[in-house]
A and B are shown apart, each in its own frame.
Chain A
Amino acid sequence: MKPRAPAPPLSRLQLRWIAALLACAQAPLILHMPAWIVALGSGLVVARIVMPERLYAPTALRRWLLPIFAVATAIGIRTQFGYFLARDPCVEFLYILLGIKFIEARTGRDGMLLVCLALFLSLAQFFYTQSIFAALAALPLLLSLGGTLAALRSGADARPWREQLASTARLVVQGVPLALLLFVLFPRLAAPLWGMPFDAGASTVLSDSMSPGSISQLSLSDAVAFRVDFAGQPPPPSQRYWRGPVLARFDGSGWHTAYRLQNGTPSRSSEFVSTLPRPAVSDPLVGPINLIATLSYDQQLFARTPVTQTVRYTQRSILRDSFSARDDNPRENLRLPRTNPRTLAFAQDMRGRAASDSEYIRALLKWFRDEPFVYTLAPGQYDRDPVDAFLFDTRRGFCEHYAGAFVVLLRAAGIPARVVTGYQGGEMNPDGEYMIVRQSDAHAWAEAMIDGEWKRFDPTAAVAPSRIERGLGAALPASEPVPYLARLEMTWLKSLRLHWDSVNYQWQRGVVGFNLDRQRDFLRDVGLDGARPWQLVVLAAAASFLWGLAVLTVVRLRRSRVDAEIALWRSACRLLGRAGLVRRQDEGPLAYAARASGRWPQWAPSFQRVANAYAFLRYGPPGPARGKLLRELETGVDDLPSARALGRAAK
């Protein structure tokens, strides 16, 4: 090939195209970046396109101002976070760097660098979300960036974008087996490289406190709280109590966790791994779950580190509705503020008439069942003495009202009791044979210590038994704003959403959640469990090498089937064909070149050069000159004007 001219400047069109690609790479991150970063990073890109050349062309600006600006930005980001070497500051800096580099971009080399930076940035979005949508949405951008890189690299000889994209797509497809191999074999770290200390993406939104209305708020959400695979048969609906935060402190209106008081650490909602079916008496925790969670004295499962992403774990549960209370302090569970006087009086009256604690509880449940209580998402407002107002005036409430009032009634009678929040229910996905538990399944129930054992009591079950047996949609009248997916009818939309959920679950489980454990499982399944890391590396390298060899062989075979000169000639014919001059099937090279020269006289020498070289190679006697002629043909084809130039000239 002939030596290329030193770095031709980027054309206006190329600049615009690169700007569009940069914008596409920045777009998915906009929601995760602070406003000033977005304004600067995207603003610089827009500025370069909008501003006239002379405003930013001075070299002083490029040589001094931009580096100073970059350093200032870095300092700004450092100040904002207090640290720099972490995910967010680095991504933000990269975001801005893209704009800075684009401002000073001049040559094709700069363009290639920009495309590479854009690739990095589009990768950065997976630090924030790893959904199947994000992965699919990144594909077109990846192809466009690859095609642009190839086009910039070949400079003036760039092929039309459609071919460029096709060849990039071929490259990507050829790389898929390698990517799969690395995906499966690449050593996994026990924790992800990027920690996200302030991420709100954890799956549970149950809070460490409960006030009237908080769970009914949650019940309006279709969002998936967690999914469960059962090793055996799933338990019957009445047993599907998923234990979450235990709330033992009552301040007169709301319930709070007692845990904060005991170990003094800040308690955050995301620290609860709420997917523990109650009661889980597999103490102590055994197996890998022990690495990520601890079981507290009140049978709460706590994550050892903040839960920042979807966690997958295996656990064993024993389905009983009581467990030993030997470690508990009963006084903690008897405290009551001096509010709600009617409730206290009612409880003492009822207890006085009952022979034992158990009988008292039975009488209470019967009372809930017999009195005209209404189970509703819209119970209205309770301001002062809310338990009194609920129990004796309105009698309209959601599960948190029933659970809260029930515990107050027990404590008033001297029975240690507490509120347990979590989820109740769950729906099997017919596609994936796994259970989906949604936020709309959020629930609250009561626990009482009877004879040294904690026992579960669910007053909601007494009021609205169908809530426990068949879910929220069955328990509430049709007029209530039940979330669509919690309703009972199986419409096509619901079934579609379930299918999609299944796909998403497989993605989460198989791709995003392919962690150390799953990798170990997989290697065991394929019989590589004993392999050391270096053996895996050698295996991966060997497989990559073989794959590369296979691709190369196919390419070679295909090329040798059609001789080089024919391939080159055909590409030249395609070029002219696109410009509107199609070669007739019987037309010889010289005749075709003559026809082309007639239409575009200014390029007649180029056409004739190509046609002559091809004619000699294809029809001439074999001889030592072929190599030289082939190079001549190659250069000739390279030097042909583009189809677009031809099209313009024809007009």
Chain B
Amino acid sequence: MTVRPADTQLVSVTDRLNVALGELGLIVVGKQAPLKLALACLLARGHLLIEDIPGVGKSTLAQALASTLGLQYARIQFTSDLLPADVLGVSIFDPVSHVFRFHAGPIFHAVVLADEINRAPPKTQSALLEAMEERQVSIDGQTRPLPAPFFVIATQNPAEQIGAYPLPESQLDRFLMAIELGYPDPDAERELLISGDRRIRIPTLAPCADAATLLAWQDETAAVHVAPALLDYVQALLAASRSSSGTGSLQGLHRGLSPRAGLLLVAAARAWALLEGRPMVLPEDIHAVFPAVAGHRLAGSTRAGAPLAQSLLRSVTLP
């Protein structure tokens, strides 16, 4: 269901985003909702955390996203011996020119897949997360900006698996959204089995956009109207998360949402509204993104957080 679009420019943005979504759907089968959230996350200039077991298509999603939108893509496999320099890059002495020359690390790409981020030691993790937050890297006293747009998709194995360093809460807060992909439904899985690995099709995808277009879209997202009534609603949600004592349906809620969470929630809702083709945010947009935005902040993990976020939504009256 859509509201009548107010202007044609909006139509074209939404249409093109939907084309991109359609293309993505060809690669990542049966995962429309996570795909849309991922795209919204990108439009809102946030970063995405996917928390799931291996082999459900996390890296396929990241790769497909990059190639559909015509962005540079890099993948970093996090291991227990990965060093910050392996992520950020390193300056190496060039014997010919007698200068140190900077070799950019994989982080200098528009779309970075940080695979199994919780397998790396905290030092490396924080190097990545600081870069995500600052959108620039300082090495050897020199500040180097990261490309724009810059989008990190980190994946994380469920915490109970062996050899994992779970992300601290402060780091979790840096991710705009945390989602689960989950197993595909039987139909999608069957299709997958019939046609084989979809990843080989990625190079054949025609890009729907480029970096400049995506930046324009991000600007468009930031301009989506949010009515004062909805800001009231967001504030009511934040207040409810802070005042809830963690009993009843909200059992397991240990901390309230930060102001940054509120800011990111509004940004994500704007992106969702744009994806829906609306010039303004509706309560439905907030509802759509709230579990992904708030879940991991409320409970420390996506799996426990999403139902918690849903109950929180239910408990607050829409003004």
Contact = CB atoms under 8 A, between A and B. Distances in A.
Contact of B283 (A588, A594, A608): A588
Contacts of A588: 282-284, 287, 318
Contacts of A590: 1, 3, 282, 284
A586 B318 contact: yes
A586 B310 CA distance: 11
A586 B229 CA distance: 13
A57 interface: no
A482 B284 CA distance: 81
Interface string B203-241: 000000000000000000000010101100000000000
A620 B230 contact: no
B1 A608 contact: yes
A1 B110 CA distance: 55
A610 B314 CA distance: 23
Contacts of A612: 3-4
Interface residues of A, number: 18
Contacts of B289: none
B313 interface: yes
A584 interface: yes
Most A C-beta atoms less than 10 A away, residue of B1, B229, B279, B317: B1
A128 B313 CA distance: 65
B293 to A, nearest CB: 16
A618 interface: yes
Interface in B298-318: 313-318
Q: Which of A588, A619, A621 has the most CB of B within 10 A?
A: A619
Contacts of B318: 585-588
A616 B279 CA distance: 9
Nearest to B314: A586
B281 interface: yes
Nearest to B224: A621
Given A593-B1, A615-B282, A619-B282, A584 B314 contact: yes
Given A619-B282, A620-B280, A621-B280, A586 B3 contact: no
A589 interface: yes
A588 B3 CA distance: 13
A75 interface: no
B280 A591 contact: no
Contacts of A608: 1
A564 B318 CA distance: 17
A22 to B, nearest CB: 47
A586 B3 CA distance: 20
A619 B234 CA distance: 13
Interface string B69-110: 000000000000000000000000000000000000000000
Contacts of B316: 585-586
Given A590-B284, A608-B1, A612-B3, A618 B317 contact: no
B250 to A, nearest CB: 14
Nearest to A623: B6
B265 to A, nearest CB: 15
Contacts of B1: 590, 593-594, 608
The residue among A585, A590, A591 with the most chain B CB atoms within 10 A of its own CB is: A590
Contacts of B314: 584, 586
A618 B3 contact: no
A586 B281 contact: no
Nearest to A611: B1
A590 B4 CA distance: 13
B227 A616 contact: no
A414 B195 CA distance: 142
A619 B229 contact: yes
Select the residue from A586, A612, A621 with max chain B CB neighbours within 10 A: A586
A620 B317 contact: no
Interface in A421-471: none
A615 B317 contact: no
A208 B307 CA distance: 95
A568 to B, nearest CB: 15
Interface in A312-349: none
Nearest to B226: A619
Given A586-B316, A615-B3, A591 B227 contact: no
A621 B225 contact: yes
B230 to A, nearest CB: 6
A618 B283 CA distance: 11
A21 to B, nearest CB: 42
26 contacts: A584-B314, A585-B316, A585-B318, A586-B287, A586-B313, A586-B314, A586-B317, A586-B318, A587-B318, A588-B283, A588-B318, A590-B1, A590-B3, A591-B284, A594-B1, A612-B3, A615-B3, A615-B282, A616-B3, A616-B280, A619-B230, A619-B281, A619-B282, A620-B225, A620-B279, A620-B280
Interface of A: 584-591, 593-594, 608, 612, 615-616, 618-621
Given A586-B283, A588-B283, 7 more contacts: A587-B283, A588-B284, A591-B284, A591-B287, A608-B1, A620-B227, A620-B279
**Nearest 9 interchain pairs by C-beta:** A588-B283, A621-B225, A588-B284, A619-B227, A585-B317, A620-B280, A612-B3, A590-B284, A619-B280
